[in-house]
Chains A and B, each alone.
Chain A
Amino acid sequence: MKIRISRLHLELGGNIVLRDINLCMRNNGFNVLIGPNGSGKTSLLRVISGIYKPSSGEVFIEVKGDPRDEIFYLPSEPEAFPGLKVVDYLQIALGLRGLYGASDMSDVMGVLEDFEVSSLLDRDLYSLSSGERQRLYLAAAAASRRSVLLLDEPTSHLDIKWIYKSLNLLGRHAKDKLVVFTTHDINLASLYASHVTVLSKGSVVADGDPGSVLREDLLSQVYGVRLVSGELEGYKLFIPYKEG
């Protein structure tokens, strides 16, 4: 399974949002997109998911079956209909069969229990805390039968325990899926990515394994803030340099 992007350009309302993107992502661990605000991370996910049509260039999604039916895209702030219940969300997002998705619910219950959302079925989506809601969305992604997961900032709204627990669970439940996610947390990329892509102003400025891509000089320049790094438990971690 892979996503291959070739000479991709995207223009929205007269602005060039993505320029000359060439990229290949596979289903061996997490593909992580990083880059400053407005660098094109979300736009790139939207092009892959088919929401935006490329202005030029091509996106090949090489999966078994129709790519349309294989993509699970999770926006950073999904805007579900007011009053949607958790059980309705799961039934619709996962295409569960039967009344209230009951015929298929037992298949996904294990994942829901791991993400500790299995007792929330009766609740309104908007009565959940933002963390609970995010866990529900990630549980849905992990339980989905779709083989390509495109997750936009999946760890926002989560506390430190759930950031790491969710990614571990996702790694376990989605180990055969092709997973791409965006984040603002460079250290998450360092800890979890098998493949990192750094975007800046709509272009790919670095792409590869975290060891070669996550460098002080490159990231300082891209983010416009001086970053320093150190090794901890074998991982390279970054903090901003505090002057004075």
Chain B
Amino acid sequence: MKADATASLERHKKRFIYTILFFSTASIAAFLLEVIIGPGRLGVSEALHAFFHREGTAYNIVWNIRIPRATAAVETGVILGLSGLILQVALKNPLAEPYLLGVSGGASLGVMASLALFPSLGYLWMNIAGFIGALVAIAAVLVIGEMTGYSVYAVILAGVAMSALTASLSIIIYLTMLSAHRFSMLWLYGTLSLIGWRELPVITLAAIVVAGYTWLLRGHINILLLGDEQAASMGVDPSTARRSLILVSAAATALLTSYAGPIGFIGLMSPHISRLLVGSETGRMVAATIPVSVFLTTVSDLMARTLVPQGGEAPLGAMTALLGVPFFMYLVTRRYGEA
């Protein structure tokens, strides 16, 4: 084999390994910071002490608030990063992600509406209502896609419009129906502050399912990357594959949104950063997107918890938007200017 080709492959492999190592280490560091740093009362040394000694309020804060929350950030990263990855391939749209397609907004409207109508609803029904809301929203966006030949920008515009609509309806419900106040206002803009041990199992399950599914179907997703005609000739029916990918990502996003509210742009940024670093092949993409996304989510949550003065807390969704909107602008103007 020619030397330049060998060198190129070696360079690629090295960059892949460094990417995984860097973002995994950074994710672990961010996780630990989530546990030991927090607003006000509990200092770093006390938090460290509580981490190893199971007693007192410090113990309670660390083990029952911060650790489940940091874990939730990890699951959120997995769900949103991989949902973004599979939605981008499924819709052949590099700007696709759950929030910009209206999936997250649809899910949160579903949850809000169900709480308004049935105030004493259990979590399971809230999850289902969120899933239905997510499906209705993505279906509406896909109708626009169908009408425009799945143009990159028409689909995203439809999704953003859907997000605006669902956000408006959610806030109307929130402000007019007392029964919707089971969640704090933070939830409407995305937050991990409402997630404790009780909520974690469902989110963990969603993260495991979406990760397992993406990994097991990586061969099919790869073939979709070649385009519909080639996929069909290789025995992968593109419309069936597309439907199942959209369904799984919508379900995982909806479950997460039921507990965390809509969180945008993680699903856009993580796959893009990963693709830039390790290429598009799905096996590599899964391996890179997970740590990149976990890192971005954990750091964003750390910012949401600590950057607001006087012990307050900003919504996570606002932080991810602060990072994500400039990123989105960059993608629109630089990389896909002519798409």
Docked CA distance A122–B5 (Å): 9
Which A115-135 residues have C-beta < 8 A from chain B?
A: 118-119, 121-122
Docked CA distance A82–B89 (Å): 10
Q: Is the CB–CB distance between B225 and A81 below 8 Å?
A: yes
Binds B, one of A17-25, A91-99, A160-168, A176-184: A91-99
Docked CA distance A71–B233 (Å): 7
Q: Is the CB–CB distance between A121 and B9 below 8 Å?
A: yes
Interface Cβ pair total, 8 Å cutoff: 105
Which residues on the A side are within 8 Å of B281 (C-beta)? 88, 91-92, 100
Q: Is the CB–CB distance between B1 and A106 below 8 Å?
A: yes
The 8 Å CB contact of B275, one of A73, A78, A83, is A83
**Closest residue of A by beta carbon distance from B283:** A99
Which residues on the A side are within 8 Å of B229 (C-beta)? 46, 51, 73, 75, 78-79
Contacts A85-B280, A100-B9 given: A78-B233 contact, CB under 8 Å? no
The 8 Å CB contact of B94, one of A83, A106, A109, A150, is A83
Chain A CB within 8 A of B8 CB: yes
Q: Is the CB–CB distance between B232 and A88 below 8 Å?
A: no
| A interface, size bucket | 35 or more
Docked CA distance A68–B233 (Å): 8
Chain A CB within 8 A of B92 CB: yes
Q: Is the CB–CB distance between B13 and A102 below 8 Å?
A: yes
Q: Which residues of B contact A (CB under 8 A)?
A: 1-2, 4-5, 8-9, 12-13, 16, 88-89, 92, 94, 222-230, 232-235, 275, 279-281, 284, 335-336, 339
The list of the 9 closest CB pairs from A to B, nearest first, reads A73-B233, A79-B227, A49-B233, A51-B232, A75-B229, A106-B1, A81-B225, A109-B1, A92-B222
Q: Which residues of A contact B (CB under 8 A)?
A: 46, 49-51, 68, 71, 73-75, 78-85, 87-89, 91-93, 99-100, 102, 105-106, 109, 112-113, 118-119, 121-122, 150
11 A-B residue pairs with CB within 8 Å: A73-B229, A75-B230, A80-B225, A81-B94, A82-B339, A84-B225, A85-B279, A100-B284, A105-B5, A119-B4, A122-B12
